[in-house]
Amino acid sequence: MSVLTPTAPAPPLEPHDASESPASPFVMPPVPLRLSDMTRDELTQCMLAWGEKPYRAQQVWSWMYAKLAGTVEEMTDLSKPFRARLAEVIAPLRPTAISHRVSADGTEKWLLDCGDGVATETVFIPDEERGTVCVSSQAGCSLSCPFCRTGTLPLRRNLTTAEIVEQVLFVRATMAARGVRVTNVVLMGMGEPLYNLEAVTRAVRIIMDNTGLAIGCRKLTLSTSGVVNKMEEAGRNLNVNLAISLHSVRDPVRDQLVPINRKFNLAALRRAALAWPMRGRDRITWEYVLLAGVNDTLQDARELVSWLKGIPSKVNLLAFNPWPGAPYTPTPREQILRFQEVVANAGLVTIIRDSRGADVGAACGQLAGTAGEPELFHAPMQGRLDSLEKLPRI
């Protein structure tokens, strides 16, 4: 591992403030240095290692995350020699977009280059009072939920902290240039965030830092398919809203729709949800994609209501976003409304989340990590399978 020593020696480091990072001693990262891989505390330690004053870190941090500087050159209150020194050793501050598509409803999707033949997708969803970035945590996914297009891809690799942070940074800067606000972040793009928990935890810390991107804990939601053995650790380290992809409260059906259910069944998921640390009026968001003839009867709705009893919950009913070759069809609108009525009548907040960006493959479950696919999302859908038995097994 090379050490950053353009001018100053780098002595072994102690954390400058032990209270901020009690567990992990700082290790100087290799060159080129990816600034967005570092928490604010680590950036401070990096500056100290260079023989700089700690306030340098706050200056750089503010330029990157609050003033959205795209290059070191723009950081004009840093001395010229320091800028030159920094520019010499750091990687570019922003990722490069390989493709960009805009939906008729205003949703935008970028394919961002991760530099090693891997790319990841990021989506911006504008609506009246907020602008939401949907962030990926992995390139591909190791799980294979059969209704999700990402699930048809192999897992290429986990994204790094920087690759997660820079998705938000990229969209925030792009939108700021147009005078559009980014208010919310959802970890609901490609991949299973709890299978990349370390990088996700660090990225969340950076994204939430109130002197930088400052996305508050109520504006940040992490969605998991139900990786029960990671939920305790996630609850301890992440102060975010939790969404769980439920899709059925019957084990045999959920075994098919969310195959991780074969490892962590509904009873285990329920226990983990009850153990999730809740503050005040917090609720867990349960995501439920409605698939025609699979999980969308009124009896399914009633069973959902009784399964949720005792858990502070809200329910997001997701309209199924079809993709070429998907083995399902969406539940008709009238049935979605009837299903919603049953759940709402039981006193649960229930939102129907309509498909956004479907025409450019940017809707939930359509992310495939490929560039240029103009006709793909208009291709006729395959009929749904008659029997769940025909679905792929893991």
Question: What pairs with residue 244 in β-bridges?
Answer: 224, 286
Of positions 119, 141, 159, 173, contacts ligand SF4 by CB under 6 A? 141
Q: Is 150 in the site for ligand SF4 (CB under 6 A)?
A: yes
- Say if CB 158 and CB 194 are below 8 A apart: no
Residue whose pair of structure tokens reads 């390139």 in the numeric block? 139
Comparing CB distances to ligand SF4, the nearer of 225 and 321 is 225
CA distance 94 to 207: 15
Of positions 184, 225, 256, 340, contacts ligand SF4 by CB under 6 A? 225
- Say if CB 385 and CB 256 are below 8 A apart: no
Comparing CB distances to ligand SF4, the nearer of 151 and 369 is 151
User: Helices in 186-261 by DSSP H: which ranges?
Assistant: 197-208, 228-237, 251-257
Q: Is 245 in the site for ligand SAH (CB under 6 A)?
A: yes
Which secondary-structure segment (H or E) carries 290?
strand 284-290
Q: Is 192 in the site for ligand SAH (CB under 6 A)?
A: yes
Using alpha carbons only, give the angle 151, 153, 159 rounded to the nearest 5 degrees. 95
Taking residues 236 to 275 in sequence order and writing x for each that binds ligand SF4 by CB under 6 A, - otherwise, the string is: ---------x------------------------------
Token duo for residue 121: 């997708």
Name, in order, each residue with C-beta under 8 angstroms of 76's C-beta and a sequence gap of 6 or more. Answer: none
Minimum CB distance to ligand SAH, residue 200 (Å)? 11
DSSP code string of 150-194:
GGGSPP-EEPPHHHHHHHHHHHHHHHHTTT----EEEE-SSS-GG
Instruction: Indicate if 148 belongs to the active site.
Output: no
CA distance 97 to 94: 9
Of positions 26, 63, 110, 147, contacts ligand SAH by CB under 6 A? 147
Q: Is 300 in the site for ligand SAH (CB under 6 A)?
A: no
Site for ligand SAH in 349-378 (CB under 6 A): 364-365
Comparing CB distances to ligand SAH, the nearer of 42 and 192 is 192
Instruction: Indicate if 121 belongs to the active site.
Output: yes
Q: Is 186 in the site for ligand SF4 (CB under 6 A)?
A: no
Q: Is 269 in the site for ligand SAH (CB under 6 A)?
A: no
Q: Is 151 in the site for ligand SF4 (CB under 6 A)?
A: yes
Q: Where are the beta strands (DSSP E) in 312-365?
A: 313-319, 349-353
Find the part of the chain contacting ligand SAH (CB under 6 A) among 49-57, 89-97, 164-172, 316-324: 316-324
Q: Is 167 in the site for ligand SAH (CB under 6 A)?
A: no
Q: Is 148 in the site for ligand SAH (CB under 6 A)?
A: yes
Comparing CB distances to ligand SAH, the nearer of 68 and 143 is 143
Peptide bond connecting 324 to the previous residue in cis, omega within 30 degrees of 0: no
- Say if CB 173 and CB 68 are below 8 A apart: yes
Active-site residue identified among 121, 166, 192, 287: 121
Instruction: Quote the DSSP letter at residue 90.
Output: B
CA-based nearest residue to 361, from 100, 155, 141: 100
Q: Is 320 in the site for ligand SAH (CB under 6 A)?
A: yes
Comparing CB distances to ligand SF4, the nearer of 74 and 373 is 373
Comparing CB distances to ligand SF4, the nearer of 86 and 133 is 133
Find the part of the chain contacting ligand SF4 (CB under 6 A) among 35-43, 144-152, 177-185, 350-358: 144-152
- Say if CB 139 and CB 385 are below 8 A apart: no
Q: Is 144 in the site for ligand SAH (CB under 6 A)?
A: no
CA distance 191 to 120: 10
Binding site for ligand SF4 (CB under 6 A): 141, 143-145, 148, 150-151, 191-192, 225, 245
Which residues are known catalytic residues?
121, 364
Binding site for ligand SAH (CB under 6 A): 147-148, 188, 192, 223-225, 245, 287, 289, 318, 320-321, 364-365
